[in-house]
Amino acid sequence: MQDLRHKNNANTSQNIHILRLENKVIKLKVRIQIFINKKILINALDMTKINLIRNINRGLNWIENYIRGISILLQNPFNILNSIKGSLNTIWITLQNIIAEHDQY
What pLDDT was estimated at residue 52? 81
- The parent domain of residue 57 ranges over 2-103
Q: Taking 70 as the threshold, does the pLDDT of residue 6 lie above it?
A: no
- 26-33: long-range pairs with CB below 8 Å, 24+: 31/105
Q: Residue 60: which pLDDT band, with cuts at 50, 70 and 90? A: confident
What pLDDT was estimated at residue 4? 60
Domains of the chain: total: 1
| Average pLDDT, integer, range 69-97 | 81
User: Is the entire prediction scored with pTM above 0.85?
Assistant: no
Output the average pLDDT for the chain.
76
| Amino acid, res. 55 | N
